Amino acid sequence: MRKKAECRDLFPGALELMILKSLSWKPMHGYALVQRLKDISEDYLQIEEGSLYPALQRMLKAGWLKTEMGVSARNRPVRIFKVTAAGRKHLEQELASVEKMFAGVTRVLALAGE
Amino acid sequence: MIWLRQLLSRRRRYDELAEMIQEHLEEKIADLIDRGMTREQAEFAARREFGNVTRIEERSREIWQWPNLESTLADIRFAMRQLVKSPGFTITALLTLALGIGVNVAVFSVINAVLLSPLPYKNADRLVMIAEQSPKEPVPAFDTYREYEEWIRNSHSFEKLAGATWARNAGAVFSWRGEKKEVMAVPATVAFFSMLGVDAVQGRTFASQDLNSACTVVLSHSFWEERLGGEPSWIGKSLTLDDQPCMIVGVMPRNFSFYPKQTELWTLITPNSKFTQKPWDMPILAFGILKPGVGRPAAQEELASIQRRVITENPSWAAMNLEPVLEDLQSEFTWLTGRNLRQGLLILFAVVGIVLLIACVNVANLLLGRATVRQRELGVRAALGAGRSRLIRQLLTESVVLSFFGACLGVLFAVLSVRYITTKGVMELPPGNPISVNWEVLAFTFLLALMTGALFGVMPAWKASRLDLNEVLKQSGRTTSHSTFTHRTSRNLVVIEVALSLIVLVAAGLLIQSLLRLKNAPLGYERDHLLTADLRLPATSYAKPEDTLSFWDNLESKLVSLPGIQGVAFAPALSFEQGMGPVTVEGAGSRSHVASASDPESISCAYFRVAGIPLLQGREFSADDRAKSVPVAIVDETFARQFLPKGAELGQRIKLGKLDSKEPWLTIVGIVGNVSRPTLFEGYSQRPSLYRPLRQAPDGSLSIFARTTGNPRAVEPEIGHAVEAVDGNVPVPTVQTVDEAFSWFTSEPRLRAELFGLFSVLALILAAVGIYGVLSQRVAQRTQEIGIRVALGANHQDVLRLVLGEGLKVILAGILIGVMGALALTRLLSSMLYGIETTDPLTFGSVSFLLSVVALVACYVPARRAMRLNPLIALRCE
């Protein structure tokens, strides 16, 4: 199956990063999280709904997330994902390193051709 | 322990996961319906966009799993089921492994305690023993207290220096409630206990203020408990040792021991101690603890320079030009206790290693046989998609499970043998750590089990997993095509097995022969019907030589009148060789012969006659050789040959000590035959010996030697009564035959010969079982072929020749390789052998013969079965 040209593979850890950021803005259940990511990325990024779950489990195992019972917008009982203190710390570290990486890439792109 | 909690909460996690996905889908479906889809359309769309639910659930679950661990657990469960299903195979393999691993664990627990664990003293790695010249020679480190003080004053390499005796026969007479007992009392210097960093459990150890008291003792825990009832009130009181009151200052902890282990109490060496007057009476060794960072060579060099200076200042001390030598204490302990204990243990370890190898070969053969049977099962697994490495992993799991259970049984076996070793006292063990199956030993066992499992499992697994799927699945059950290959492998394994057994057998044969030669070695005297009993007169009541002499005279007249006793004499106890100071021969200039002679021995007139030592020249001592008459001596052949002018031996005068010493000139009046003395090494030596008449050189500690006419046992109590009758204050001696008195000397070689003998029998049985197993399997495989041969007219002899011939080839190849291996390896034994070469052709020949016979018997059983095959039945199998 060919991917659309504008859909790129994410770098390792990018999905986790986006999940953490979204959830630290607001705790959400799985479906809401997918919708949110889709809305924001405006189809630039290809995120399959299902593939989110292994990532969520990985993050639960690492202790960055925890689940709580809550209700959805439709008043259904659902499991809400929340960022833990460890997750917040991880997010900060990752953001810092990602910024550094982007800065580096931008600099190289700007100057490499000169 | 997070992983453990995760492991336990997994079921809940999985349920939760399924619910989450369900919630997700329902939310989405509701959303889609809101956007105008029918419920059906919405469900379909939601699932399509979500992806494969089962697959995603599976991938998410994997996050919580260890796939390797789980499949390994499954493999282990499967392996156990397989083992239970074939109990015959399992029991044989388990017993073989348990024996193989068990003996290894037992030997390792001894090695761990004796050679590997540090001694239970503080800073054990810095403790050294200081000997003169060589630690292997029983030469005391210092022979005057002054010399010892010089060392302490001038050396800077040591934190502490201490002295203590290592003599086996150190002893004192302990008087207790009217009874007199000889106890093992070891003299030690003030710093001895503090050097070891071990404190008393009651009271204290020696302190410098004790140097002013006449006698101070520290008790061992067992002495305090068994002889004094374990009362703490004994501290500060005194007990009577050699008729002298000695103050008890402390009791050592229960597990404290030093060499010799049997020590019951320690007496304090003071500047007035006995050994200062009589250097050779009590060999004192020096021990020290090096300062951190100081190496042994540096400390040794320092002591040597002190020694050189002391000798030039006091020429009279220059008895021998000896250089101090430092040895680390632990290796010295093992040497003192067992001479070759270290080497012996390592060789024993190698031998049990070989036994384990043989056991592995047998189990590998069993597994090969099973693999042939299980080919179909493996084929099905392969057909269902199991790769070769997966099959190997499963088979290896089986063998490791097998060796693990074998090891568990082996540990049980080892615990029993360790208990036997420690309680029965089968071997003399150096002081230090008790031998036990501890955590270190268990860790070793676990590693050994893993290695063993891999060792015997890897090859059969490799072979078994080489499958031709089509072939295997086509066949209905019996397999033949694969078995020639398997057979060649197991035949090669048996060759190895025979070779290994031969090596162990040769080693055992050499040690057993060596033991026999040691026991039957001519000693220069007659040891049949010869009794010996060590006597020690209390020093205080026998201070005057006249009293000592009259005691011996009275005892002699009492003993000779006893019925059943042919002759009685007194002489120093039979012990291993000891050194002697310099000897000066008159007229040989100022040159003195140094060392290398035995201690001068004070003997009663009848000694040579009673002991059966032949007089070669001159005369024996007589009653006329008394204190006031000309000092005389008798020497042995070796002495005469080495030191005396040829042809003029009799009448030659010699002096013990240097030319300027105050010792009297002794006139040689006779030459007697040589006597062999056990050495500290294995075997005997003939050192130059010199005898003096008891009347001219009175001695308070001698042994009774009595030649009996009949059963030596019959006169035992009589000897005790006689001693009591002469002086009730003299401790009643233990009477032994000379052979018994010497048994400690052959105990090491005997133990070694027994152990090697045991292991070689084990190896022999395992090899026989291996040969039998391979050949019977072979016969079973060739049933058809043999049937055809018989049907075509082959008679019994032909069939027998066919099977035996195959076995014979294996045996001969094994023996050939084994002989070469043994020739290369038995050299390691050379220091433990007495009177036999490591390449002794008789041993090699007889061992090869024995092995061939046993192996042929193992071949004969399957051969007979082949011979009796009914060709009709054999062919019907087709």
Per-residue pLDDT tens digits for B37-77: 888 888 888 888 888 888 888 877 777 777 677 778 888 88
Task: Decide if B397 contacts B454 (C-beta within 8 A).
Answer: no
Nearest-Cα distance to chain A for B21, in Å, is 8
CA B51 to chain centre: 70
Chain A interface mutation, best of B20, B22, B47, highest count of A Cβ atoms under 10 Å: B20
Chain A interface mutation, best of B3, B63, B64, B66, highest count of A Cβ atoms under 10 Å: B63
Q: What is the pLDDT of residue B743?
A: 78
Q: What is the pLDDT of residue A1?
A: 37
Which H or E run includes B662? Answer: none
- Its pTM stands at 0.73
Nearest-Cα distance to chain A for B3, in Å, is 10
Q: Is B20 on the interface with A (CB under 8 A)?
A: yes
CB-CB under 8 Å, B56 with A74: no
Nearest alpha-carbon partner for B378 in B119, B78, B143, B628:
B78
Give the chain A residue whose CA is nearest to the CA of B24: A31
Residue B672: how many CB atoms within 10 A of its CB?
25
Strand partners, B289: B127, B160
Nearest by CB to A31, which of B27, B60, B61? B27
Rounded-to-integer distance, Cα B772 and Cα B776, Å:
6
Nearest alpha-carbon partner for B581 in B636, B662, B657:
B657
| Distances, alpha carbon B676 to alpha carbons B281, B283, B524, B639, B689, in Å | 21, 22, 6, 13, 10
Nearest-Cα distance to chain B for A31, in Å, is 5
Nearest-Cα distance to chain A for B1, in Å, is 14
Contacts of A50 in chain B (CB under 8 A): 50-53, 55-56
Task: Decide if B682 contacts B746 (C-beta within 8 A).
Answer: no
Q: What is the pLDDT of residue B580?
A: 59
Q: Does residue B595 come out as left (phi exceeding 0), alpha (psi in the -120 to 50 range) or beta?
A: left
Q: What is the pLDDT of residue A5?
A: 38
CB-CB under 8 Å, B23 with A57: no
Q: What is the pLDDT of residue B593?
A: 55
Residues of chain B falling short of pLDDT 70: 1-8, 67, 132-147, 166-171, 273-284, 311-322, 337-339, 468-469, 471-486, 575-581, 588-598, 680-682, 874-878
Nearest by CB to B26, which of A54, A76, A79? A76
Prediction ipTM score:
0.83
B819 φ, ψ (degrees, to nearest 5): -65, -40
CB-CB under 8 Å, B24 with A29: yes
CB-CB under 8 Å, B60 with A57: yes
Nearest by CB to B28, which of A31, A53, A56? A31
Q: Is B66 on the interface with A (CB under 8 A)?
A: no
Q: Is B64 on the interface with A (CB under 8 A)?
A: yes
Q: Is B26 on the interface with A (CB under 8 A)?
A: yes
CB-CB under 8 Å, A79 with B19: yes
Give the chain B residue whose CA is nearest to the CA of A81: B20
Nearest-Cα distance to chain A for B34, in Å, is 11
Nearest alpha-carbon partner for B17 in A35, A84, A70, A30:
A30
Give the chain A residue whose CA is nearest to the CA of B49: A49
Task: Decide if B372 contacts B479 (C-beta within 8 A).
Answer: yes
Nearest by CB to B21, which of A53, A67, A76? A53
Nearest by CB to A30, which of B20, B51, B59? B20
Q: Is B622 on the interface with A (CB under 8 A)?
A: no
Q: What is the pLDDT of residue A102?
A: 87
CB-CB under 8 Å, A58 with B6: no
How many Cβ pairs closer than 8 A exist between chain A and B?
68
Give the chain B residue whose CA is nearest to the CA of A75: B27
CA B334 to chain centre: 9
Strand partners, B708: B565
Which H or E run includes B103? Answer: helix B87-111
Nearest by CB to B56, which of A29, A50, A61? A50
Nearest by CB to B63, which of A30, A57, A76? A57
Contacts of B60 in chain A (CB under 8 A): 53-54, 56-57
Q: Is B17 on the interface with A (CB under 8 A)?
A: yes
Kindly report the length of chain A.
Answer: 114
CB-CB under 8 Å, B16 with A30: no
Rounded-to-integer distance, Cα A67 and Cα A57, Å:
11
Output the furthest CA–CA distance in chain B (Å, rounded): 141
Q: What is the pLDDT of residue B218?
A: 94
CB-CB under 8 Å, A76 with B63: no
| Distances, alpha carbon B393 to alpha carbons B210, B370, B538, B704, in Å | 70, 16, 75, 72
CA angle B688-B689-B691, nearest 5°? 155
Half-sphere exposure in the Cβ direction for A53 (13 Å, CA): 30
